[in-house]
């Protein structure tokens, strides 16, 4: 044995001797390969995902060239499930080839809807990831990822169900669409199908309707305006809402500049042209549909229904079951036409008619002649005048302080800093009951009631009735309708229903349910909520019946009906009076709101413009200021009321008082000297 070998052996033995003895040999544990496990899991999940996507894609409907060319009309059903109108179908259309549409017009839509339309193959992967990020950070639905190709598929082949299955089929069919049709053919399909409002389907029809031009003659600012309309045709209608339309047009121009379709200078030049100067309504106008104003309200309400966010209701073959009362709608349109036909062209009126019990919108009146809309019934924001007094003043006082209808208030001018609030006729009577103050529409007592209750409780009461008021910015002037902004007839009608329905409020809606071609339905529940105590609703109603019988609402009363209601007017500010040369006390808005146990209506009348074409200021004269009351009366008198009375709840008690003294009447008090007042039963009442 060599010396080197012995040395190695000795070293090994020496090393082994230094280790502790182990009788049992232990096996070294193997480390798991987590990377391989995760990779395997990812592969399995990926395969399962691909199999699922493949299965869904395999069950997709086939591309139907006929459907791609022809939209499927949606149907409007009335309250009795009778079909009353098609949303599309019989409307006039001008079809146009893609080579007849100027490139800047095409680019306006591409920049707005699908900026990489010319590059992708039906699905925009970059946009999908961008939308996914937005939906994670801002909530699902924050941003969509549909390309123009996907929109064509969604609106013609598939239903509008918001689900992963539908999205997979939409993407799969969009890729197929791009394989079978050219980009120009797909864009042509899109531009000939979309709805632009005012009955105009397709870009060529819209060009004629809004600008009286052939599509080949459209200028940049006109193309941008049209590209902005499909998002919300009614809201961005330039003939009704020019301010909103101009803002949307400018968004489109900015997008075109951002994506290098036009220069920034071109965008600024186009933005400098006011929308009002652009519109020249053309010869091609669709025939007015039956109940057109109501249907436009339906279109607006559809946008608020969960599950219909991405639906093209104009071409999806939906059945839309509404609350339309055709008799009430026809009566509303007839009354407005008869009242406004021979009046100044800028004089307008808006009507909202709602079912008192359910909040169902039965009729909508707005506009005049062949241009019926829902603008003056549900979109205007005008100061409500004295119609607000039950909502912000006396209602909250009864609700929170249990005032009786005989509660005494001071009818004296109210000093608010350097402003003095007095009654419309500057007359004061001193002490007056709440009932009589409401009957005579006293301003001083209304402000005092508001101050006594406080803005917190007053706005809380109003907001439960469909308002959106901030107590920090709700000032005493609001107590008599002096809003910074205003409200619409629909908001006012909805709030008054709760007084006639025992204190229960249901948000007004035109829609009951929506049925898809595949049988799937979306039910619409208005969710009735208790907005006030039943005693508040009944006591306000009882006082408002007196308003109709012997107060400011007598001209609106209908013999034989149990009607409760309130009038309201507003005046111009001194600044506007001076600017337009208006007399002191000139009336700006006239209101009438009221209800029976069956129907609730709110009517507004006023001028759509501040001055006429010659520059003269416009205001309601003495006769015109009464039109709201007359319209209310004429509509209510034609409706089928159940003619029941409002039921007194157990929480309210009637007490006979002596007229003029406020003391409880005795057995010796003549009936002619008695007046019946209402008290909340659970609160001990005191009399002088």
Our answer to whether residue 113 is catalytic in this structure is: yes
Our answer to whether residue 91 is catalytic in this structure is: no
pLDDT at 36: 61
Q: Where are the domains of the chain?
A: 92-278, 384-469, 650-688
Fold classification of 92-278 is Penicillin binding protein transpeptidase fold (1.10.3810)
pLDDT at 283: 47
What percentage of the chain reaches a pLDDT higher than 90? 60
Q: How far is CA 139 from CA 132, 133, 135, 339, 475, in A?
A: 10, 9, 5, 49, 36
pLDDT at 309 over 80: no
pLDDT tens digits, residue range 432-471?
999 999 999 999 999 999 999 999 999 999 999 999 999 9
Lowest-pLDDT choice from 2-11, 323-332, 459-468: 2-11
How wide is the angle at C-alpha 562 spanned by C-alphas 556 and 568, nearest 5°? 35
CATH of domain 384-469: 3.40.710.10
pLDDT at 12: 53
pLDDT tens digits, residue range 476-500?
999 999 998 899 999 999 999 999 9
Active-site residue, from 349, 386, 441, 628:
386
pLDDT band at 91 (very low <50, low <70, confident <90, very high): low
| Residues constituting the chain | 688
pLDDT at 530: 97
pLDDT at 369 over 90: no
What percentage of the chain reaches a pLDDT higher than 70? 81
Active-site residue, from 60, 73, 113, 149:
113
pLDDT at 17: 46
b/e map 368-391, b = 16+ CB within 10 Å: beebbbbbbbbbbebbbbbbbbbb
* Nearest alpha carbon to residue 108 among 20, 7, 213, 230: 230
Report field, pTM of the whole predicted structure over 0.75: no
**Going by DSSP bridges, is the β-strand pair 319-322/511-515 parallel, antiparallel, or unpaired?**
antiparallel
């Amino acid at each position: 044995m060599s010396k080197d070998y012995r040395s190695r052996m000795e070293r090994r033995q020496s090393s082994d001797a230094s280790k502790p003895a182990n009788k049992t040999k232990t096996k070294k544990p193997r480390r798991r390969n987590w990377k391989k496990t995760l990779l395997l899991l990812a592969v399995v999940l990926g395969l399962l995902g691909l199999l699922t996507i493949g299965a869904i894609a395999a069950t997709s409907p086939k591309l139907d060239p006929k459907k791609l060319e022809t939209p499927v009309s949606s149907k409007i059903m009335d309250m009795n499930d009778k079909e009353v109108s098609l949303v599309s179908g019989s409307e006039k259309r001008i079809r146009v080839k893609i080579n007849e549409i100027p490139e800047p017009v095409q680019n306006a839509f591409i920049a707005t809807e699908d900026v990489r339309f010319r590059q992708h193959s039906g699905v925009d992967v970059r946009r999908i990831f961008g939308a996914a990020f937005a939906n994670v950070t801002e909530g699902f639905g924050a941003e969509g990822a549909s390309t123009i190709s996907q929109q064509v598929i969604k609106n013609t082949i598939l239903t509008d169900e918001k689900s992963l299955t539908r999205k997979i089929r939409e993407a799969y069919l969009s890729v197929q669409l791009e394989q079978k049709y050219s980009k120009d053919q797909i864009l042509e399909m899109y531009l000939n199908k979309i709805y632009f409002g005012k009955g105009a389907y397709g870009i060529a029809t819209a060009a004629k309707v809004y600008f009286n031009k052939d599509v080949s003659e459209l200028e940049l600012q006109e193309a941008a305006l049209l590209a902005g309309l499909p998002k919300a045709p009614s809201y961005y209608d330039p003939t009704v809402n020019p301010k909103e339309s101009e803002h949307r047009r400018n968004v489109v121009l900015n997008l075109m500049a951002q994506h290098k379709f036009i220069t920034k200078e071109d965008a600024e030049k186009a933005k400098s042209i006011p929308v009002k100067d652009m519109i020249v309504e053309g010869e091609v106008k669709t025939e007015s549909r039956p109940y057109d104003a109501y249907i436009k309200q339906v279109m607006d309400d559809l946008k608020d229904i969960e599950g219909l966010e991405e639906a093209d209701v104009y071409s999806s073959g939906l059945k839309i079951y509404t609350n339309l009362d055709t008799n009430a709608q026809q009566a509303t349109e007839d009354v407005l036409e008869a009242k406004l036909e021979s009046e100044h062209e800028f004089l307008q009126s808006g009507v909202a008619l709602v079912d008192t019990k359910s909040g169902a919108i039965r009729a909508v009146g707005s506009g005049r002649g062949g241009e019926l809309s829902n603008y003056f019934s549900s979109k205007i924001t005008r100061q409500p005048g004295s119609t607000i007094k039950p909502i912000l003043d006396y209602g909250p006082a009864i609700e929170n302080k249990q005032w009786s209808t005989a509660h005494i208030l001071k009818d004296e001018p109210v000093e608010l800093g350097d402003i003095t609030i007095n009654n419309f006729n500057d007359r004061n009577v001193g002490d007056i009951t709440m009932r009589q103050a409401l009957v005579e529409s006293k301003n001083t007592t209304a402000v005092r009631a508001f101050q006594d209750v406080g803005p917190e409780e007053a706005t809380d009461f109003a907001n439960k009735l469909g308002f959106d008021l901030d107590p920090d910015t709700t000032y005493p002037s609001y107590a008599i309708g002096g809003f910074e902004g205003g409200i619409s007839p629909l908001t006012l009608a909805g709030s008054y229903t709760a007084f006639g329905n025992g204190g229960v409020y249901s948000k007004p809606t035109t829609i009951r349910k929506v049925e898809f071609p595949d049988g799937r339905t979306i039910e619409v529940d208005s969710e009735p909520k208790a907005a006030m105590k039943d005693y508040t609703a009944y006591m306000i109603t009882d006082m408002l019946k007196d308003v109709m019988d012997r107060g400011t609402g007598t001209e609106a009363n209908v013999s034989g009906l149990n009607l409760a209601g309130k009038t309201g007017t507003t005046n111009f500010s001194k600044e506007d009076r001076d600017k337009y040369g208006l007399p002191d006390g000139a009336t700006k808005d006239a209101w009438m709101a009221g209800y029976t146990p069956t129907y609730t209506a709110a009517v507004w009348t006023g001028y759509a413009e501040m001055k006429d074409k010659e520059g003269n200021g416009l205001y309601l004269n003495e006769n015109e200021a009464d039109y709201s009351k007359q319209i209310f009366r004429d509509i209510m008198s034609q409706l089928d009321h159940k003619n029941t009375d409002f039921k007194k709840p157990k929480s309210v008690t009637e007490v006979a008082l002596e007229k003029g003294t406020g003391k409880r009447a005795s057995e010796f008090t003549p009936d002619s000297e008695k007046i019946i007042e209402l008290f909340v039963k659970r609160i001990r009442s005191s009399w002088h």
